[in-house]
Amino acid sequence: MIVTRFAPSPTGTLHVGNVRTALLNWLLARKQGGRFILRLDDTDSARSTEAFAQSIRDDLAWLGMAPDAEEKQSARMARYEAVLGELAAAGHVYRAYETPEELDLKRKVLLGRGLPPVYDRAALTLTDADHARFESEGRKPHWRFRLSVDLPNQWDDLIRGECHIDAASLSDPVIRRADGSWLYMLPSVIDDVDMGVTHVVRGEDHVTNTGIQMQMFAAMGKPAPQFGHAALLTGADGALSKRLGSIGVSEFRDRGIEPIAVKALLARLGTSLPVEPVTSDAPLIEAFDIGHLGRATARFDEAELERLNASILHQTDHAAVAGRTSLSEPQWNAVRGNIATVADAEQWKLVFTGPIAPPDMPAEDMAFLAEAADVLESLSFGADSWSDLTKALQERTGRKGKALFMPLRRALIGRDQGPDMATMLPLIGRDQALQRLRG
């Protein structure tokens, strides 16, 4: 069974890039009938909060992407400690004592000599006596993972194809700080092993991390998941934008964007498939193929999202919005082609129930409307009332085109544009229509 995971840190709210990562993993799991896990990477106790964790859960629920299971790294500290001990015994991790200031000085010296600022592994030369001395001085070690040319350094990426790292050109990564807190790299690998994660889709900024983690999986003697690295999102102008780091689910909700619109856009960004208005997840899941994602940057355009949202609402059934609009099903069906958000539909409520304030019109149009009222009153009222009314008025007045239709539209709905009047007039009703035509 395919098992994917979304692993945000609960140190803030989800932004659009996080949502896309979650969506790709969710789609991959759903396409294959697998499991989608939410893993809260909350090892940073100073910044992680339950409030942020709950906001992540709420956002995923709003998007219709509730996970099949949830895990918290803060509950797994003993497991990380045990694996660290095993790796230390096997020589894959080691203690180091340099302070941040000392490490910064080493980097500057190397750069000054025109050399890459790679950690020199000085800590590997420490003796037991050195460790004892540091311990007696109250100096706590941080832990590094020892990269090796003898461990795997390449993988077949689900999106990018053949990838590799040059272990010799990288510093051995710090995996645990001197204060005992964990960094991202090793706990993530341990969790993927223990939780049976088979596929990981994340941003291309993690490519080097994946190469390092491939060595960690091997050091543990465990198979690595299949990794896919999606191109990062850019703004509509093609540039990386700070705006993309702030826009998120709460803003989508506030702007009246539908969850399915968010998914319909993000599921197709960076692929050769067209962005299409859909009213359910089914077509997105059916068409999803991780191989469709390309390496070119994917552009997120807020204007495109708004247009897509409107297109989706234009074909959304009343049952899907019944709890969010006071319009009846016939009223909703009449106006949905003229709205951009569900909230917009409420602006049409008074058009059906009254009163409305029609715009001022010239005297000749007012006389025409009075005549229209007389004609309407003489006709049987029903589904064909608009056609019967306009046909009779054209014969009696000689008016046609805008001169015929526009005064009627303005009087009956108070607007120059809007839904088909043949649909609107029966919903307004005979008495309301006569009252509006007679001013």
> Considering its fold, how many domains does the chain have in total?
2
Give the pLDDT confidence of 108-167 residue by residue, as tens digits: 999 999 999 999 999 999 999 999 999 999 999 999 999 999 999 999 999 999 999 999
What is d(CA 179, CA 435) in angstroms, rounded to the nearest whole number?
78
Domain end marker among 284, 313, 342: 313
433: CATH: 1.10.10.350
Q: Do 363 and 432 lie in a common domain? A: yes
What is d(CA 57, CA 30) in angstroms, rounded to the nearest whole number?
18
Q: Do 358 and 308 lie in a common domain? A: no
SS3 string, the chain, reads CCEEEECCCCCCCCEHHHHHHHHHHHHHHHHCCCEEEEEECCCCCCCCCHHHHHHHHHHHHHCCCCCCEEEEHHHCHHHHHHHHHHHHHCCCEEEECCCHHHHHHHHHHHHHCCCCCCCCCHHHHCCHHHHHHHHHCCCCCEEEECCCCCCCCEEEECCCEEEECCHHHCCCCEEECCCCCECCHHHHHHHHHHCCCCEEEEEHHHHHHHHHHHHHHHHHCCCCCEEEEECCEECCCCCCCHHHHCCEHHHHHHCCCCHHHHHHHHCCCCCCCCCCCCCCCHHHHHHCCHHHCCCCCEECCHHHHHHHHHHHHCCCCHHHCHHHCCCCHHHHHHHHHHCCCHHHHHCCHHHHHCCCCCCCCCHHHHHHHHHHHHHHHHCCCCCCHHHHHHHHHHHHHCCCCHHHHHHHHHHHHCCCCCCCHHHHHHHHCHHHHHHHHCC
Give the CA distances from residue 253 to residues 161, 256, 284, 363, in Å, rounded to whole numbers and listed in that order. 37, 5, 21, 46
Q: Do 379 and 302 lie in a common domain? A: no
Exposure class string for 323-347: b at 16+ Cβ within 10 A, else e: eebebeeebbbbbbebbbebebbee
pLDDT at position 358 is 80
* Bond before 355 cis per omega within 30 degrees: yes
Bridge partners (DSSP) listed for residue 174: 144
In a domain, 391, yes or no: yes
Q: Do 362 and 432 lie in a common domain? A: yes
Domain end marker among 261, 292, 313: 313
Residues for the chain: how many in total?
A: 439
In a domain, 399, yes or no: yes
What is d(CA 284, CA 191) in angstroms, rounded to the nearest whole number?
29
Give the pLDDT confidence of 293-309 residue by residue, as tens digits: 999 888 999 999 999 99
Residue in 249, 262, 256, 257 with CA at minimum distance from that of residue 55: 249
Give the pLDDT confidence of 335-352 residue by residue, as tens digits: 999 999 999 999 999 999
pLDDT at position 40 is 97
Residue in 294, 302, 295, 293 with CA at minimum distance from that of residue 235: 302
In a domain, 169, yes or no: no
Q: Do 356 and 309 lie in a common domain? A: no
Q: What is the pLDDT along the chain (439 residues), one digit of tens a residue?
A: 999 999 999 999 999 999 999 999 999 999 999 999 999 999 988 899 999 999 999 999 999 999 999 999 999 999 999 999 999 999 999 999 999 999 999 999 999 999 999 999 999 999 999 999 999 999 999 999 999 999 999 999 999 999 999 999 999 999 999 999 999 999 999 999 999 999 999 999 999 999 999 999 999 999 999 999 999 999 887 766 667 777 889 999 999 999 999 999 999 999 999 999 999 999 999 999 999 999 988 899 999 999 999 999 999 999 999 999 999 999 999 999 999 999 999 999 999 998 898 888 999 999 999 999 999 999 999 999 999 999 999 999 999 999 999 999 999 999 999 999 999 999 999 999 999 999 8
pLDDT at position 241 is 67
In a domain, 137, yes or no: no
In a domain, 142, yes or no: no
Q: Do 287 and 358 lie in a common domain? A: no
pLDDT at position 236 is 80
Domain hosting 416: range is 352-437
In a domain, 45, yes or no: no
In a domain, 407, yes or no: yes
Q: Do 309 and 379 lie in a common domain? A: no
263: CATH: 1.10.1160.10
Domain end marker among 257, 290, 313: 313
pTM: 0.92
AA letter at 124: L
Q: Do 359 and 421 lie in a common domain? A: yes
Q: Do 305 and 361 lie in a common domain? A: no
Q: Do 366 and 419 lie in a common domain? A: yes
Exposure class string for 136-146: b at 16+ Cβ within 10 A, else e: eeeeebbbbbb
What sign results for the dihedral spanned by CA atoms 125, 129, 133, 134?
positive
In a domain, 234, yes or no: no
pLDDT at position 240 is 64
Q: Do 356 and 422 lie in a common domain? A: yes
